[in-house]
Structure 1
Amino acid sequence: MSEQIKDVLDAVGPRLRALRRQRAITLADLSATTGISESTLSRLESGGRRPNLELLLPLAHAYDVPLDDLVGAPRTGDPRVHLHPIHRHGMTFIPLSRRPGGVQAYKMLIPSRGEPAEPTPQTHSGHEWLYVLNGRLRLVLGDRDLTLPPGEAAEFDTAQPHWLGTADGKAVELLILFGLQGERVHVQPRTT
């Protein structure tokens, strides 16, 4: 094993311990979350056990961080998010985040249709926040039928029947934050 690899592996344990303490998680709690025994976690943090993918992958998932962060890998490559559009229900969703789990960000494009479509409300688990960039969005939410112009935002539980479309037949462009576990957007007020 090269000296460089040995140095990287030796730094993993202290990094894991610091991360666990920073988040105020006990070894017992981490063991319950990951399925890794407390003794293995302790030896991993103290350097008594070499890290491997079988141990690091569940830890990265439990801490909700990229594996590179756990091993201290240097940042390489292009930092830009490479957009791969998803086409669903006649709309285009462009993922703006690539972090696994948690809240996901999308730019959504509803094409011009000439005339507004007939709403077909759907439900699914999660929580959604949206912000209209361009166009006029028609949001059908339960028994409410709303029109949101550019600059307006809405937030709702997606277990409620909902539908998004163009209010006037013209294209609509919006940002969406979506969380599977019902995460909500929290805005901190500015203190003066």
Structure 2
Amino acid sequence: MRRHRGITLADVATTTGISESTLSRLESGQRRATLELLLPLARIYDVPLDELVGAPRTGDPRIHLRPIRKFGMTFVPLSRRPGGVQAFKMLIPATPEPLEPEPKTHDGFEWLYVLNGRLRLVLDDLDLTLPPGEAAEFDTSSPHWLGSADGGAVELVVLFDPQGVRAHVQEPHRPVTPG
């Protein structure tokens, strides 16, 4: 958390009164955290103590989304289950000039649904434009790239499975009517 916020050990030590060596040992797991150490750290990082120590969630049903910014895009996690299928809302910002696709590969399988905007999906030799309401799924070991088709912002929902399991929708059971 400290590194992610760009704060040095010296800054934290000065603000909290905890020595740099104690902070370093806490971060590396060589020292057990006590309440006297955790309270000033929770204050400086402006997070609840439960979040700082990774306490299990309580009965609060609210979802506290923490956006992740990567590759010039914003990913908002919609699921918290480690491993298995992960759900994200993905936001691709508007760009004044079209971006040149840089296809990448990685393990897994991806399913996406365009909510707003026009998505450009480059997949192997295909160059597709998906308007709102369209969906796609693909093996992420194939070279792929996602961006705006027209320079406008794009909003989509993405399901990603790092183990490569395809998303599937089951047909609802329809009763047979005599006729």
- TM-score normalized by the length of structure 2: 0.64
For residue 116 of structure 1, report the CA deviation from its aligned partner. Answer: 1.8
- Is residue 173 of structure 2 the alignment partner of residue 177 of structure 1? no
Within 1, Cα distance between the matches of 2:128 and 2:58?
A: 45
8 Å contact from structure 1 (residues 95, 106) kept in 2: yes
8 Å contact from structure 1 (residues 81, 97) kept in 2: no
Within 1, Cα distance between the matches of 2:97 and 2:172?
A: 42
Runs of 5+ unmatched residues, structure 2:
1-56, 175-179
- Is residue 69 of structure 2 the alignment partner of residue 87 of structure 1? yes
8 Å contact from structure 1 (residues 81, 98) kept in 2: no
- TM-score normalized by the length of structure 1: 0.60
Q: Which residue in the other structure is 2:98 paired with?
A: 116
The one of 170, 173, 178 equivalent to 1:191 is 173
> Deviations 1:129-150 (Å, cap 9, x if unpaired)?
0000000000000010000000
Correspondence 1:47-66 to 2 at 5 A: none
The one of 116, 124, 142 equivalent to 1:142 is 124
- Residue identity (%): 74
Provide the alpha-carbon RMSD of the alignment.
1.4
Within 1, Cα distance between the matches of 2:98 and 2:87?
A: 26
For residue 168 of structure 1, report the CA deviation from its aligned partner. Answer: 0.1
Within 2, Cα distance between the matches of 1:186 and 1:166?
A: 26
Give the letter for the 1:151 counterpart. G
The one of 113, 120, 132 equivalent to 2:114 is 132
> Deviations 1:89-146 (Å, cap 9, x if unpaired)?
1000000000111000000000000222000000000000000000000000001000
> Deviations 1:6-27 (Å, cap 9, x if unpaired)?
xxxxxxxxxxxxxxxxxxxxxx
More helix per residue: 1 or 2?
A: 1
> Deviations 1:140-182 (Å, cap 9, x if unpaired)?
0001000000000000000000000000000000000000000
Q: Which residue in the other structure is 2:33 paired with?
A: none
Within 2, Cα distance between the matches of 1:119 and 1:110?
A: 14
Q: Which residue in the other structure is 2:20 paired with?
A: none
Correspondence 1:34-73 to 2 at 5 A: none
8 Å contact from structure 1 (residues 97, 104) kept in 2: yes
Within 2, Cα distance between the matches of 1:76 and 1:82?
A: 13
For residue 76 of structure 1, report the CA deviation from its aligned partner. Answer: 3.0
